[in-house]
């Protein structure tokens, strides 16, 4: 009954049977109508899971400080530090042997060295170095180019009447985005291009999984992603005496316009590739039973999202700040509940998920606790929205969530989730089994760890800058946290680990 406005409650009451009314009134803290009361042994923790904390955490993780939590970007590091600070505040221990809450995952960053990357008008004092007025947004290897300069405005979607004027030149596009046709004219003429943008994006460089075979340097790519501020381009035009007023189309003319500048332009990019570490956040509640504490119950969410890209922030409120809020709520609930888990419970907030499940792959290949001691991994990825697709309306999905993958490795685990759901009463949906490989749990499942994955479904803001906290259904995050809080405690306290089912035979 949490979160329903009074008018909805009144309507419900009018139609409900008396028994149901009494039931829903006594079960005031149960999440959805018809849910049973959780047992007294887990009640203190259960009741601690609420919207106020979750809203506060969401505001930070999906807010300006974390700027979309791009792996390798400063916002991700802030998010990781925030998660670690909350785990510490709740009294959780570090799960890492070095005593920190971070498990470092190796990446490489390829970016220009700003002080050594620039554009200059040869023989003059005009030199613009990389930074706020100039950027190489796709730097991939050292590059240099020297040529005459032509300023071009596409005047909408038009092409140049005479592409010869840009042959082997450096073209500065003064208009909006150059059209595809104009760009292919530039390429055809062997010219380089610099695009004018309203705000030069901060360029964190290309972050990649560290691997033995790094991608080859591509100077051509470095030089095809140069952007410059409008003000800097105007300064450049002035220095090479190009009259930009001539770019303004007159009358009905439909062609792109070009103005050639005096002198030679030199573009230099110095690119550095460096090894960096990006953390998975790992914290634990040590099991209270001297024997069972060697077994581990895993809970996971991915902390990263798409970060800042081309001057836009992808906030990732649902994907997957929602899962991390749920992770924190469960950690706090277990820490507050007087009865402690017998097995160790491990909380993991992974990096690099959006880049291909990199942080969880690193954990699965370098587990802090042996994977055969992990009785299950419960993953939460996108648990804060009401599914909205061509076939399903958001308002019909207020209390639905997809339970994915739980039947694949252990029916005992699957049943444990169903049992825990008696206290929540989510309407489980089963039509998203094809996302089984698309979140962190898959790296554990591939190594035989039984998994259960909850996912509230796709919506039009998926992987868009519009995935923001104001669209979140916070009751759903509360419900998700309660579901996996109860499941994890059951997993931690039952006499034996979840039995793994034999792999299916035959059939194909």
Interface with Zn ion (CB under 5 A): 319
Nearer to Zn ion, 331 or 355 (CB): 355
Extended beta strands in 140-252, E state? 143-153, 170-173, 192-197, 206-209, 226-229
Closest listed residue to residue 485, CA positions, set 37, 91, 38: 38
SS3 for 29-93 is: CCCCCCCCCCCHHHHHHHHHCCHHHHHHHHHHHCCCCCCCCECCCHHHHHHHHHHHHHHHHHCCE
Q: Which residues contact 127 (CB under 8 A, 6 or more apart)?
A: 118, 119, 120, 121
Strands 312-314 and 307-309 come out as antiparallel
d(CA 228, CA 165): 22
Residue 19: phi, psi to the nearest 5? -60, -45
**Interior/surface letters 30-69, b for 16+ CB within 10 angstroms, e for the rest:** bbbeebeebeeebeebbebbbbebbeebbebbbbeebbbb
Residue 305 CB, nearest approach to Zn ion (Å): 7
Nearer to Zn ion, 400 or 464 (CB): 464
Nearer to Zn ion, 155 or 473 (CB): 473
Nearer to Zn ion, 153 or 319 (CB): 319
Residue 325 CB, nearest approach to Zn ion (Å): 16
Residue 144 CB, nearest approach to Zn ion (Å): 38
Nearer to Zn ion, 279 or 316 (CB): 316
Nearer to Zn ion, 295 or 319 (CB): 319
d(CA 429, CA 454): 10
Residue facing Zn ion at closest CB distance:
319
Nearer to Zn ion, 257 or 305 (CB): 305
Residue 344 CB, nearest approach to Zn ion (Å): 29
Q: Cα-Cα-Cα-Cα dihedral of 405, 411, 417, 422, to 10°?
A: 130
Nearer to Zn ion, 179 or 464 (CB): 464
Residue 319 CB, nearest approach to Zn ion (Å): 4
Residue 456 CB, nearest approach to Zn ion (Å): 13
Residue 455 CB, nearest approach to Zn ion (Å): 11
Residue 235 CB, nearest approach to Zn ion (Å): 40
In this structure, are residues 454 and 303 in contact, taking their beta carbons and an 8 Å threshold? Answer: no
């Amino acid at each position: 009954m949490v979160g329903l406005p009074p008018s909805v409650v009144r309507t419900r009451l009018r139609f409900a049977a008396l028994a149901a009314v009494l039931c829903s009134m006594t079960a005031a803290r149960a999440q959805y109508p018809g849910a049973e009361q959780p047992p007294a042994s887990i009640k203190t923790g259960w009741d601690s899971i609420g919207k106020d904390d979750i809203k506060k955490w969401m505001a930070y993780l999906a807010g300006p400080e974390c700027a979309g939590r791009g792996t390798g970007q400063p916002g991700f590091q802030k998010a990781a530090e925030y998660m670690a600070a909350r785990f510490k505040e709740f009294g959780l221990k570090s799960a890492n042997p070095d005593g920190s809450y971070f498990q470092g995952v190796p990446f490489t960053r390829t970016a220009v060295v700003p002080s050594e990357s620039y554009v200059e008008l040869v023989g003059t004092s005009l030199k613009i170095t990389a930074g706020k007025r100039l950027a190489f947004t796709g730097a991939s290897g050292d590059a240099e180019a020297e040529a005459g300069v032509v300023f071009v405005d596409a005047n909408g979607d038009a092409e140049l009447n005479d592409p010869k004027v840009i042959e082997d030149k450096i073209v500065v596009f003064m208009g909006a985005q150059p059209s595809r046709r104009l760009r292919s004219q530039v390429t055809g003429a062997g010219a380089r291009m610099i695009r004018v943008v309203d705000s030069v994006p901060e360029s964190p460089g290309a972050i990649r999984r560290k691997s033995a075979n790094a991608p080859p340097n591509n100077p051509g790519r470095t030089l095809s992603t140069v952007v410059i501020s409008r003000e800097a381009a105007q300064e450049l035009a002035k220095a090479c005496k190009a009259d930009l007023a001539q770019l303004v189309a007159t009358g009905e003319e439909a062609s792109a316009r070009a103005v050639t500048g005096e002198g030679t332009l030199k573009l230099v990019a110095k690119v550095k590739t460096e090894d960096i570490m990006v953390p998975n956040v790992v914290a634990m509640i040590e099991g209270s039973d001297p024997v069972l504490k060697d077994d581990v119950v895993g809970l996971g969410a991915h902390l990263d999202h798409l970060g800042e890209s081309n001057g836009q922030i992808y906030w990732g409120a649902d994907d997957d700040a929602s899962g991390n809020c749920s992770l924190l709520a469960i950690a706090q609930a277990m820490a507050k509940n007087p009865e402690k888990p017998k097995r160790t419970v491990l909380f993991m907030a992974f990096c690099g998920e959006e880049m291909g499940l990199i942080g969880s792959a690193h954990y699965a290949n370098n587990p802090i606790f042996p994977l055969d001691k992990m009785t299950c991994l419960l993953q939460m990825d996108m648990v804060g929205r009401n599914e909205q697709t061509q076939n399903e309306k958001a308002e019909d999905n207020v209390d639905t969530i997809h339970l994915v993958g739980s039947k694949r490795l252990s029916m005992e685990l699957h049943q444990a989730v169903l049992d825990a759901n008696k206290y929540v009463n989510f309407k489980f949906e089963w039509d998203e089994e094809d996302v089984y490989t698309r979140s962190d749990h898959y790296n554990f499942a591939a190594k035989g760890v039984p998994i259960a994955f909850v996912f509230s479904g796709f919506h039009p803001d998926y992987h868009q800058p519009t995935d923001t906290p104001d669209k979140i259904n916070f009751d759903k995050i509360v419900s998700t946290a309660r579901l996996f809080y109860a499941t994890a405690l059951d997993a931690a306290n039952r006499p034996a680990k979840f039995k793994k089912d034999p792999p299916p035979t035959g059939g194909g």
